[in-house]
């Protein structure tokens, strides 16, 4: 199986989370980190859980979904070692990985349709960081500067 992925949402992203798990569960080793029902929950609790798993390298990547994607991305980025990118289209899903070595994709369930969200996650999880390629020094340098800010 492919890369390990921790996925979570709040109530606003719950249905989209289920659709992503169903669509990509055979391509990637997906762990559902909650919630496990559509009742109202605080997105911060789930953003912290997934961000900690990614930062600790118990998951290769994370997927976070709330109504706008904004709250999840803000909360996840508070965890050292996390580069959570709010993505609203396929090109940004690709560039978040290629240029920024993002390790968590955040989606706003009210701003992206199901098919596009599934494809955005697939692209995000399958795209390599340009800094790992020959000639990728500028991308490595920029990500290193982000890591310096965390210190």
Strand order in the sheet with 104-108: 29-32, 4-9, 61-66, 104-108, 84-86
Q: Is the pLDDT of residue 91 over 80?
A: yes
Of the candidates 11, 48, 92, 99, the residue annotated as catalytic is 99
Q: Which domains does the chain have, with CATH numbers?
A: 4-150 (3.40.1400.10)
Q: Full-prediction pTM beyond 0.75?
A: yes
In which band, very low, low, confident or very high, does the pLDDT at 2 lie, cut at 50, 70 and 90?
Answer: confident
Is 11 part of the annotated catalytic residue set? no
Q: Is the pLDDT of residue 70 over 80?
A: yes
Range name among 44-48, 64-68, 140-144 with the lowest pLDDT average: 140-144
């Amino acid at each position: 199986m492919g890369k390990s992925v921790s996925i979570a949402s709040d109530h606003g992203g719950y249905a989209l989370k289920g659709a992503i798990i169903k669509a990509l569960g055979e391509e990637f080793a997906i762990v559902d980190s909650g919630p496990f029902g559509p009742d109202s929950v605080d997105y911060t609790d789930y953003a912290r859980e997934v961000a900690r798993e990614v930062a600790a390298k118990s998951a290769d990547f994370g997927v976070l979904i709330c109504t706008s994607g904004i709250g999840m991305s803000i909360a996840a980025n508070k965890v050292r070692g996390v580069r959570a990118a709010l993505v609203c289209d396929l090109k940004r899903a690709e560039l978040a990985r290629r240029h920024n070595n993002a390790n968590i994709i955040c989606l706003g369930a009210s701003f992206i349709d199901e098919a596009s969200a599934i494809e955005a996650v697939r692209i995000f999880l399958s795209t390599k960081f340009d800094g790992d390629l020959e000639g990728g020094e500028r991308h490595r340098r920029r990500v290193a500067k982000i890591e310096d800010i965390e210190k």
